[in-house]
């Protein structure tokens, strides 16, 4: 079995924090040679600080090689161009103007490697009225509409509990790179792939966006209830809470029978999907009165037996103990040179013949200077010492 399906690709990683690294991680996990380029001696924003940040860094930058390189130094830029000649992909998430100031923008790099695929992730896009603004995940959540539909009615806007704009822009960036690499097999030419937190967040609004675009309806907050379907939401149980998603008339009838409240099936207030949404409060109260009489696990067993979609609401510790999560191998072990075995989040994809293979911990800054500059560019140890002395690496 070929455990490294992307091993033929070399990726130069100029990214930091989360959106860009989320894109590059897809290549690192699936076997590409990913070279993380860091400024010499620079304590960057995504460097390990506390325990949470260290854990995040290990998850985000696993499977990479690290070199130090001062791109502002003429020799540093020259070394970078030497790497570009041998690379397939360059990924950056600077503010749009930075790459031009450094002379490492797409047009400059394609002059020395026409096949290079150059990918940029930004806050708001590479041009336009907001292009120069600093872009962060929560800012994109706000402008992109997510915060206006998240949370309970009347409680004010609420951010999502994960950096969804960062993560999705990274994934869309990776998809764009894959498309460009496939197209390169036909044309022989690379191209510039662009995405942003704002573009990704608006795309992720999906059916909520379409409620406005086609129907002229401005979606609001609906808390734990589904915006348009009922009963779909969180309901109390004797020992906590559970999710129920009984969409459609048939599923609603099944739920009512499991809950032993069959009278609701023919209740005029709940005969159709629109009626159940209109009378959501009364319906939720009737269901909640019944679900509160048994434990979560009891209800889940009964509902699953009848094919009613439902599930527990787990904390992070419980999620990774869930038998299906364990079965799907979503917790992966990495051997860290100082800490021994540590755990990271596994890939959410399964390929029938190939897998991501073994994982390596996030590298120390400049850990692979010798391997990359010596192996790829043929520099001798004495050359590396001189470059370090001159502040180039």
- Give the active site residues: 166
Question: By the 8 A CB rule, do 140 and 201 touch?
Answer: yes
Cα(9)–Cα(29) distance, integer angstroms:
12
Under DSSP, is residue 242 helix (H, G, I), strand (E, B) or coil? strand
DSSP state of 263: G
Under DSSP, is residue 296 helix (H, G, I), strand (E, B) or coil? helix
Burial call 327-343: b when 16+ CB within 10 Å, e when fewer: eeebebebeeeeeeebe
**Assigned token pair, 392:** 């180039």
- Residue 71's nearest CA partner among 129, 119, 12, 19 is 12
**Assigned token pair, 152:** 């309970």
Question: By the 8 A CB rule, do 32 and 10 touch?
Answer: yes
| DSSP secondary structure string for all residues of 67-101 | EE--TTSHHHHHHHHHHHHH-SEEEE-S-TTHHHH
User: 310-312 and 240-245: which strand pairing?
Assistant: antiparallel
**Assigned token pair, 108:** 């400059």
- Residue 335's nearest CA partner among 326, 344, 327 is 344
For residue 231, how many other CB atoms are within 10 A of its CB? 25
Go through the chain and tell me how many residues it has: 393
**Assigned token pair, 308:** 């009613």
């Amino acid at each position: 079995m070929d455990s490294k399906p992307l091993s033929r690709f070399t990726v130069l990683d100029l990214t930091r924090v989360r959106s860009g690294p989320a894109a590059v991680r897809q290549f690192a996990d699936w076997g590409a040679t990913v070279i993380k380029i860091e400024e010499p001696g620079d304590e960057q924003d995504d460097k390990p600080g506390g325990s949470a940040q260290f854990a995040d860094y290990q998850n985000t930058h696993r499977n990479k090689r690290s070199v130090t390189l001062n791109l502002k130094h003429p020799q540093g830029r020259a070394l970078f161009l030497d790497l570009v000649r041998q690379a397939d992909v360059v990924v950056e998430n600077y503010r749009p103007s930075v790459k031009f100031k450094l002379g490492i923008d797409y047009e400059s790099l394609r002059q020395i490697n026409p096949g290079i695929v150059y990918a940029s992730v930004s806050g708001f896009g590479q041009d336009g009225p907001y292009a120069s603004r600093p872009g962060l995940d929560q800012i994109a959540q706000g402008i992109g509409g997510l915060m206006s539909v998240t949370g309970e009615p009347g409680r004010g806007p609420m951010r999502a509990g994960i950096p969804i704009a960062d993560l999705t822009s990274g994934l869309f960036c990776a998809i764009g790179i894959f498309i460009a690499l496939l197209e390169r097999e036909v044309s022989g030419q690379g191209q510039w792939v662009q995405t942003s937190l704002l573009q990704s967040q608006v795309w992720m609004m999906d059916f909520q966006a379409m409620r406005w675009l086609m129907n002229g309806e401005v979606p609001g907050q609906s808390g734990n209830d589904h915006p348009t379907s009922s009963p779909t939401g969180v309901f109390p149980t004797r020992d906590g809470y559970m999710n129920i998603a009984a969409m459609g008339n048939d599923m609603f009838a099944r739920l009512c029978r499991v809950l032993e409240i069959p009278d609701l099936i023919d209740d005029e207030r709940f005969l159709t999907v629109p009626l159940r949404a209109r009378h959501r409060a009364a319906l939720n109260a009737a269901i909640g009165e019944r679900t509160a009489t048994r434990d979560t696990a009891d209800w889940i067993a009964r509902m699953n037996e009848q094919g009613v979609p439902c599930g527990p609401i787990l904390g992070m510790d419980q999620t990774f103990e869930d038998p299906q999560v364990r079965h799907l191998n979503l917790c992966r072990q990495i051997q860290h040179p100082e800490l021994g075995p540590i755990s990271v989040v596994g890939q959410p994809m399964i390929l029938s013949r190939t897998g991501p293979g073994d994982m390596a911990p996030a590298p120390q800054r400049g850990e692979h200077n010798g391997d990359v500059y010596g192996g790829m560019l043929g520099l001798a140890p004495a050359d590396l010492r001189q470059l370090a002395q001159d502040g180039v690496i």
